[in-house]
Structure 1
Amino acid sequence: MDYEGRLARKLQKLDADLVAKREEVEGLQRSLRLERDKFAEEYKSEKRERETKATTQEERIREYLSEVLYAKPKQKDKKGEFSLDTVLVSFVKPNESFRYNLAFRVDSGTNVAQLRNSACKYWGVSPDSFILRTMANNKCQDDNKVKDCFKQGEIAQLRLEMKRDSSEPPLEEELKAIQPKTKKRAGRPKSGKPRFNAEGVEQIQKFGENYANQLKKMGGVYFLLKLRDTKPSEHASKIKLRNIIVYAALVVLSVYVYMTRRPIGDAFWCAKGVQDFLLVSVPLPGVQAMSCTGEVSQDHRLCVPGFQGVQTRDDMWNWLNYTLPGVFWSVVDADESLPTLASYNELLGYMSIRVQNVKTPTSMEYCVQNLQLVSALNADLPGANITCYPRTITASTQETAQYADIASYWQNVTADAADLDISANVRGISNPGIFRSATENKDKHGIGEISGRITNYDASGYSVDYRMTVSNPAAAIVDYRNDLDYLRASKWIDYSATRVVIVSFTTYNFDYDLWTASDFFFEIPPDGDILPNFDVKPFKPRIYETRAELTYTYVEYVRLAIGIYILIFIGWSERHHKVRNHKAGFYYHISLAGITDLGLVVCMFITLIWRTVEFQSLSTARYLERADDMQRTHGFISFREMAWNYNTIFIVDGIVMVFLMYRLITFFRLSHTVFLQWRAVGQALKMFVFFSLVILPAFAGFVVVSTMLFGRYILGFSSLGYSAVSSMKLVAGNLNPQVLDRDVVVGVVSTVALYLLLTFFLLNVFVTIFVDAYYVVRLTSTQPSEKWDGQRIRTWALPGVCVSIFQAILSAGESESRD
C-alpha cells in the first residue's frame, strides 16, 4: 500500500510537471505566433490609421469645398440685367423614390449642355441618356444659356430626367397640339386662324405659365422649395460617454448635498410650529374658558383675533397684550401650565418690539398735493384743524426725537429691577423712548431691512426688549402688560404717526436642530388700516461642526472639482468642436450648453464661498451666548440676515440643479428623434419671441387697466406688480371673487378678454408655431439617424486607444482561430 501511495504521488508530480511544460510550450508558441504576425498586425494598424486619416481628410475637403461652393463672390450687378448664380438640380435615381437635390454654381456664359454633363458626372449616369427640364416641364436645349431657361421671378430649379425612347408614342396633349383643325390646304387660310390646335398648345403651356402662381397658393410647398437642405449636424461627435458620467455624478452629488443639508419637511414643520402659536385666536381675559375656533373667533368681544385676523388698532393692542405674552410665558392654571412655545423650542434671549413713527406735523407742511384744498377747508369750517401726516417713512419725515416721559419711565422701572436675578428680570436694556438709527441697530444688534406689502423698512426705530426665558413667568406677564399700558397711554404707538410695529425673536428646535428667525409686523398706512404680515425663516448659524457636516463639505469640494473640470476641459472641447466645424469658439458660450456650464460652475463657487464666509466664523455655542446675553451687555440680537443668507444659498443650489437638468437634456440629442424635436423647439422659440413682443404690450395694457379698475378696493390689484400676478392667476382660472362682487360687467368683460388674449390666442399661436417648426425641420433635415451597432457603441463609449487595443486583440483571436 505504501508503494502504491508513493507511485500515486510521483504520478501526480509528473502530471504537474507535464502541465507546466505544456503551458510553457503553449506560451512560447503564442509568443512565436505574435512575433510572426507582428508585421502583419502593424500593417493592418497602419492601414486602419491611413484609412481613418483619408476619411477625415476627405470630409474636411468636402467641408471646405461646400463652404467655397456656398460662398458667393462679390459681383457688380448691372441695372436691368437678370443675373443667376445658383441652380438647383433635382434627380430621382431609377427604381428609387428619394429625390436628390444638388446646387450648382453658374455664370452668365454657362449653357445647358455644360450643366447637364456636370450633373450626370456627379450622379454617375450617361449624359446622352438624360435631359434637363424646368419645373414647368419644358425641355432645356443644350445650346441655350442656363439663365435663359427661367423667367424673371421663376424658381431656378431643373429636373434631370431620362430621355424617352423614340419608339414611344407622343402624348395625347402633344398630338392635339400639332393636329391641324382643318384639312391640309395650300396657302394661308382666309380666316386668319392658325392651322394648329391652339387649345392643345394652351393646355400644354398652361401648367408652365401658371406654375409659380399655383405654387404660391400652396404656401408650405412653395416655402420648402425655396429652402436649402440644412448641413448635417456634428453634434453627436462631441457627446462623449465620459461627459455624461461627469454630469450624472454631479447631479448625484448635488442632490445628496441638498437633501442632507436640508432634509425634506424639516424646515417647513419647524417654521409651522412657531407660526401656529402666534396665528391662533385666544379668549379675552374675564371671559369664561372657551375655544376660540370657527365663528366664535370672529367675535372680538370674546376672543382676540389671530395674527392674520387683526384689522383694527384695538385688535393689534389686544394681540400684543394677551396673545404675545401667552406664547412666551406660561399661564399657571389651577391644574397645570398651558403649553407655550418654550415647550417645544428653546427661546433664545430677548423678544423685541420695534416701532417706526413719522413726524407729527405742526401745520400743513406735509400737504403737498392738496395744500390749497386743506387751507380752504380750515378757513371755511369753524374750528377745523386739518393736517397731513407723511405717507411713508423717509430720512426727512421719520421721527427721531426722544420721548422724554417714556425714557424716564423706563429708567425708573429698570432701576427698581436692577437687584433682581438676571433670570427674573424680564426687561431688556433697550429704552423705548430713545431712537436708534439703522446703522446702530445693524452693527450692535444685527437688525436688517424688512420688506412689507407697502414698502421696505430699515433697521431704525424705537425698541423695547423682553427676556423670553424667565424664572417667574407670572410676574413677567404683569410687568409686560404694565409697560404696554403705559406705552399705549403715552402714544408710543400712535394712531396717526406710527407706520409699522415689528415683533422679532429667535428660537431653537432640538428635534430638527434648526434655529428660526421670526418677524411678525403690522403695517399701518395713513388710512387707518392694519396690514399684518410675518416671516419665519429656519436656519443654522454654523454648518461645519459635526462629522456629518464635514462630510457634506468634502462632497462640496468634490463637486467644485468637477465644476473646474467642466469649465476647463469640457469648455475647451466644446470650443474646439465649434472651430473644427468652421464656427467661432465663442458660439459655445452663447449656446444652451455654454450658458448652463458657466452658470452651474459659477453657482457652485458662490455657494461654497458664501457658506464658508457666512457660516464658519463663530461656533454655535458662541452664537447661543450672544443671543442669551446673560451679562446684559447688548440686549436683543437679530439673526434675520443670517437666516436670509442660509435660505438664499439653497435657492442658488436649486439653480444649479436647473442648469444641470437642462445640460443633461443636450445629451439626449444622440437620439435622432430628440435631436429633431430639439431643433424644432429652437426654431419655434425664435418665432415665439416675436409674437411675445406683440402680446406683451396688450398684457401690460390689461395690467394697467386692471389696476385702475380694481385697485381701489382689491389688494391684489393695488399696485402694478400685484395686478400682474393677479392677471396671471386669472388666466390660470383662479378668479378673485371680489372682482365680480364689485363690478360684474367690467369683471366679466375683462376676464373674457384676458382669456381670449392669453389663454386662447397665445396658447394656440405657440402650438401653431411649434407644429410649423417641426414640419420644416423634419422635411429639411436630410441627415440620416445614427445606427448604434456594436462597433459604433464601442467607438463612442471608449477612448481611441482602448478601441485600437480591442481591435488588435480581436484580430489576434481571429488569426489564432484560422491557424
Structure 2
Amino acid sequence: MDLYQKIDQKTQEIEEKKKLVRNLERATARLQDEIMMLNEKIEQTEDRLEHHGHELVYRRQRLKELSEVSNPQDEEQAVQKQVSAEEAQSFLRNIEKDIKQKILNLISRREILDNDPQELFFFEGQKFEIKPNTIIHTVKVKYISLLLPQEEDRGMKTVPKEATFRITRFTTLKDLRATACEYWNLAPDNCSLRLQNFTTVEKILDQPIDSYFMKNTVFPELWLTENDPRISKYTNKPEQYIDDPTVAIKEDNKSAEVSQIQKAKQEKEKALNILDNYRGLKYYLPPRIEGIEEVEEKRLHGRDTSCCTALFLVLLLALTIYIIGQRRDVTKEYWLQSGISRFAMQEDSNGQTFYDVSSKPEMTTWIVEIVGGTLFSSSTADQNYQKLMHRMQLVGQLAIRQVRTREMSCPRSDLDTRNYTCYHRTYSSSTRQEDTIAGGSETWRTFETASTNGIDSTWTGYLSSYDGSGYVQYYDQSEYTYEKFSEDYNYGVSTGWLSKSTRAIFISGNIYHPSSNYWIYFNAIYECSVDGLVYPSIIETVAFTPNIFTRSKGATTADIFRIIFSLYILYVYVMTILEIKDGKKNIQHALSFQGILDLLLIIFIIVTVGLTAKVDEDEKKIYQDTKYTDLRSTAEWYRFYHNLNACTLTLVLIRIIVFLQVNKRIFILMSTIKNASQNQIAFMVILISVLSSLAIIAQSIWGQNLFMFRSFPYSFLMILLLNVGHGDYKTMFDLDLAWSVIFFLVYFFGIVYFLFAAFMGIYTDSYKMVRLLEGYDDDQNTWKKKDLMLWFIDWIPSFAKRLIVELIFKESKKKVKEEEEEDDDEEID
C-alpha cells in the first residue's frame, strides 16, 4: 500500500509540475508580448523627445534673435501693448460666447438633459444607441496645463481650462486642434487631442468630428495636452495630478458604485430574460461583438490567412491544374469517342440504328452488319463499314458475351398458363443459368465465371445488374473476315446462341488510336426482358490511357509536392483544433465548414495520388496480347481519377476563397453563408421530406408510362428538374389530366413559390445579422505598409521578425531625417 501511495504522490507531483511548466510558458509568452509593447512605447517616447528637442532649439534661436534686435524700453512698450491687446481679445471673446449661446438657445429644439454623460452607457462597456436625428454641433475641450516641479512635489493638482467650440459637418479633429490652440495661444504642432480615456487621436486627425462621434458613440468631450514627457504622468494617474470631476475618485461613493454595478447586473439579467422570451427583439438592438479585436487579429493574422497558407494554396492550385492538363486532353477524348459512336449509330439493311432494335432477329442483323462490317475487312462489303480500321486498330479479340437466367415456377400456379415457361427477371449468382448450351461442341457453349474469362467488371442496366460471367464468343481480327464473321455468328444463332432465357448481350473490345496515343474501350449492351423484347441500353465508349505515367513524368513530381503541401494544411487543421479557446481546445473546428473542407482536401489529394496505382497497366503487353483483355475497370478508374482531381481543384479554389476572408467584403459574404447554413440544413429536412412525398405521387401517376418516373430515384430527380422547366408536360396531361392539374398546382404554389423562395429569406436574414455585427464600413481595417510587411514575415520566428521590423523602421526613420535635413538646407539657401 505504501508503494502505491508513493506512486500516486509522485504522479500528482508530476502533474503539478506539468501545470506549473504550462503556466510558466504562458507567462513567458505574455511577458514577450508586453516587452514588444514596451519597445514600441519607448520608440514613440524617443520620437516625441526628438520632436520636443527640435522645438526647444527653434524657440531658443527665436528668443536669441528677438533679444538682439530689441532693447529694454522696447520690451516694456511691447509688454504693455500685449497686455492691452489681450484684454481687448478677452472682451471680444466673452461677447462672442454670449452671442453664440443666445443663438444656440434660439435654434436648438432639443430637450436639455441634466444627466451625467457616463449614465448614457450600459453595464460592461456596452455603448448607447445614438438616434438618427441626433446632431452634434459643439465640442467641449479641456486644456491640461502642466504644473511646476515644486508644485508637483507639494501634491498640487492642475485645474483644466474648459472651452466649448462650435463645429460643422466638415470640421475635422485637426481643425478643432488648431482652433483650440489658437484660443489658448499654443502651437498646434506641439499639442495633442485626447479622448476621455486620454488616448490620442493623431491617427484620425483628418476625420470629421461629427461622423467620428456618431460612429463611435463617444461623448463630445476632448482633452488638449502639450507634447511634453511629463504629460504621461498626468494621463496614467489623472486622479493624482488633475482636479476634475470626471477623473476624481471619491472614497465616499465606492459603496454607491458597488450598488450601481449590482443594479446594472440585475437589469442585464432581466434584459436577457426578455430577449429569450421575445427572440425577435435581438434584430432591433444595436450591434455588439465580443472580443472584436481578437476576432480581427485572427482574421488578418491567423494561420488560415498567413502568407505561407496563401503561397501553398496557390502552388497547390497550380500543381493540380498542371497535373490535369498533362494527364488528360478532354477535347481529344471527345472526338475519339464521337468517332466510335458515329460508326455504331449507322443504319443496317433494315434501316435501323442501335437504339431502333426491339427484337432478337433485328439485334442479330445489327451485330452482323454494323459490328462485323466496321471491325472486319471485306472486299465486297460497303466501304463505309471499313473506314474505322483505316485509322484505328482492334487490340486483341472482339468479345460477344451473353448471360442467361434459370427457369422458375410461375407465381400463380393455380391459373392455367398453357405451358408458359417463367424465368427469373434479374441476373445474379443465384438466378443465372450455368448449364452447357446444347447443339454443338464450340467453346462458347460452356459457361464461364468472371474469374475464368478475366472479365472482372460489373455493369448495371435498366433491368438488372450483371457481372463478368456468361457465355462468350471470341473473334480475332487477324483470323476473321466480314463474311466469315457473319457466317459464324449466324450459325451460332441458329444452333442455340439466343434463347428465351437470354437476359443481355455484351459486344466488347479495345481499340488503339496510334495518332493520338489513346485507347478506346467500347461496350454495346442489349438487355432482353422475360417478355421477349430487346431494349438497347447504351453504347459505352471511353477514351483513356491505361498507364498515365507514360504521358507526363513531371506530373509524378507534382504529386509529391501536392502531398507535401497537403501536410501543411493538415498541420493548420490540427493546430487549430489544439488551439485554446475560452479555456478549452477548439474541438468544434473539426465539424465546422472550414474544418471539413480542409479534411476533405487532404483526403482527396492522398486518394488521387493513390489512384495512380490503379491506372498503371503494361500497355506493350496489352497491345501484343492476342486474346481479349477487359479494360473496363481500368477505364473506369481512369475516369474516376480525373473526376476526383477535378473535385480536388474545386476544393482548392473554395479553400482559396476561405483564405480571401482577409478581405472584409469576402469575409462578410462567407460569414453570411456560414450563418445561413444552420437554418438551411433544418429547412432542407422539410424540403426533402416534401419532395420525396411528391416523387412518390409522381411515380404513382406517371411511372407506368414515362421513363423518368419508373423508379423512386429517377422520380425524385425529375421533381427537381421540373423546377427549371424540364419535363414532357403534354404527355403528362394526356395520361391523366385530373391528377396532373392537382399535382402541378400543389407543386408550383407549394414548392416553387413558397419553399424554394425561403432560401432567399434565410440568406437575407443572415446577411442582415452579419452586417449588424460587423458594421457597414468595410474599409475600416485597411492595411498599411507596416501591416502588409508583417503579413509577409509572419511565418518566421518572433525574434527574427522583431529584428527585421527594427531594421526596416530604423532605415525608414533615417531616410525621413535625411529628407528633413535636405529640406532645411534648401530653406536656408
Q: d(CA) in 2 for partners of 1:394 and 1:693? A: 36
Decide whether the 8 Å contact of 1:596 with 1:660 is kept in 2.
no
Q: Does 1:666 align with 2:667?
A: no
Decide whether the 8 Å contact of 2:427 with 2:465 is kept in 1.
no
Q: d(CA) in 2 for partners of 1:723 and 1:458? A: 27
Decide whether the 8 Å contact of 2:428 with 2:465 is kept in 1.
no
Decide whether the 8 Å contact of 1:277 with 1:327 is kept in 2.
yes
Letter in 2 for 1:277: F
Query: Can you give the 5+ residue segments of structure 1 that lack an aligned partner in the other structure?
Result: 1-45, 57-84, 102-120, 130-139, 158-211, 285-301, 379-383, 411-430, 630-634
Decide whether the 8 Å contact of 2:129 with 2:286 is kept in 1.
no
One of 548, 556, 561 as aligned partner of 1:558: 561
CA RMSD between the two structures: 3.8
Decide whether the 8 Å contact of 2:518 with 2:545 is kept in 1.
yes
Decide whether the 8 Å contact of 2:519 with 2:545 is kept in 1.
yes
Q: d(CA) in 1 for partners of 2:259 and 2:427? A: 90
Q: d(CA) in 1 for partners of 2:267 and 2:598? A: 52
Flag the 1:791–1:454 CA change in 2: closer, same or farther, 3 A. same
Letter in 2 for 1:464: Q
Per mean C-alpha deviation after superposition, the further-off stretch among 529-538 and 797-806 is 797-806
Flag the 1:47–1:454 CA change in 2: closer, same or farther, 3 A. closer
The alpha-carbon deviation at position 47 of structure 1 amounts to: 12
Decide whether the 8 Å contact of 2:398 with 2:508 is kept in 1.
yes
**Pairing 1:581-730 to 2, within 5 Å after superposition:** 582=583, 584-611=585-612, 613-616=613-616, 618=618, 620-626=619-625, 629=626, 635-730=627-722
The alpha-carbon deviation at position 543 of structure 1 amounts to: 2.6
Q: d(CA) in 2 for partners of 1:360 and 1:48? A: 84
The alpha-carbon deviation at position 814 of structure 1 amounts to: 4.5
Q: d(CA) in 2 for partners of 1:579 and 1:306? A: 68
Flag the 1:485–1:53 CA change in 2: closer, same or farther, 3 A. farther
Q: d(CA) in 2 for partners of 1:92 and 1:151? A: 17
> Who is 1:260 aligned against?
326
> Who is 1:398 aligned against?
432
Letter in 2 for 1:690: A
Q: Equivalent residue of 2:422, what SS?
A: coil
Decide whether the 8 Å contact of 1:347 with 1:469 is kept in 2.
no
Q: Does 1:539 align with 2:544?
A: yes
**Pairing 1:782-793 to 2, within 5 Å after superposition:** 785-793=780-788
The alpha-carbon deviation at position 581 of structure 1 amounts to: 6.6
Q: Equivalent residue of 2:553, what SS?
A: helix
The alpha-carbon deviation at position 663 of structure 1 amounts to: 0.4
Q: d(CA) in 2 for partners of 1:762 and 1:54? A: 59
Q: Equivalent residue of 2:630, what SS?
A: coil
CA shift digits 1:84-112 (9 cap, x unpaired) = x98886536976334769xxxxxxxxxxx
**Pairing 1:154-193 to 2, within 5 Å after superposition:** 155=271
Q: Does 1:225 align with 2:285?
A: yes
Q: Does 1:354 align with 2:349?
A: no
Letter in 2 for 1:775: K
> Who is 1:41 aligned against?
none
Flag the 1:390–1:142 CA change in 2: closer, same or farther, 3 A. closer
The alpha-carbon deviation at position 390 of structure 1 amounts to: 1.1
Letter in 2 for 1:731: N
Q: Equivalent residue of 1:91, what SS?
A: coil
Flag the 1:49–1:156 CA change in 2: closer, same or farther, 3 A. closer
Decide whether the 8 Å contact of 2:123 with 2:261 is kept in 1.
no
Per mean C-alpha deviation after superposition, the further-off stretch among 531-540 and 331-340 is 331-340
Decide whether the 8 Å contact of 2:436 with 2:445 is kept in 1.
yes
Q: Equivalent residue of 1:465, what SS?
A: strand
One of 730, 739, 751 as aligned partner of 1:746: 739
TM-score by length of 2: 0.64
Q: Equivalent residue of 2:214, what SS?
A: coil
One of 300, 311, 329 as aligned partner of 2:358: 311
One of 128, 137, 140 as aligned partner of 1:91: 128
The alpha-carbon deviation at position 665 of structure 1 amounts to: 0.8
- Runs of 4+ in structure 1 deviating by more than 4 angstroms, as ranges, are 46-49, 53-56, 85-90, 92-95, 98-101, 124-129, 140-154, 219-222, 333-338, 580-583, 814-819
Decide whether the 8 Å contact of 2:520 with 2:544 is kept in 1.
yes
Q: d(CA) in 2 for partners of 1:125 and 1:405? A: 118
Decide whether the 8 Å contact of 2:708 with 2:714 is kept in 1.
yes
The alpha-carbon deviation at position 491 of structure 1 amounts to: 3.3
**Pairing 1:214-613 to 2, within 5 Å after superposition:** 221=281, 223-225=283-285, 229-232=289-292, 233=295, 234-238=298-302, 239-282=305-348, 284=349, 302-303=350-351, 305-333=352-380, 339-361=386-408, 364=409, 367=410, 370-371=411-412, 374-378=413-417, 384-406=418-440, 408=441, 410=442, 431-441=443-453, 445-470=454-479, 476-494=481-499, 496-532=500-536, 533-545=538-550, 549-568=552-571, 570-571=572-573, 573-575=575-577, 578-579=579-580, 582=583, 584-611=585-612, 613=613
Decide whether the 8 Å contact of 1:331 with 1:337 is kept in 2.
no
TM-score by length of 1: 0.65
Decide whether the 8 Å contact of 2:306 with 2:791 is kept in 1.
yes
Flag the 1:583–1:592 CA change in 2: closer, same or farther, 3 A. farther
Flag the 1:753–1:281 CA change in 2: closer, same or farther, 3 A. farther
> Who is 2:4 aligned against?
none
> Who is 1:196 aligned against?
none
Q: d(CA) in 1 for partners of 2:311 and 2:449? A: 55
One of 787, 790, 794 as aligned partner of 2:789: 794
Letter in 2 for 1:480: F
The alpha-carbon deviation at position 559 of structure 1 amounts to: 2.2
The alpha-carbon deviation at position 226 of structure 1 amounts to: 9.4
Q: Equivalent residue of 2:498, what SS?
A: coil
Q: Equivalent residue of 2:519, what SS?
A: strand
The alpha-carbon deviation at position 765 of structure 1 amounts to: 0.4
Flag the 1:48–1:621 CA change in 2: closer, same or farther, 3 A. closer
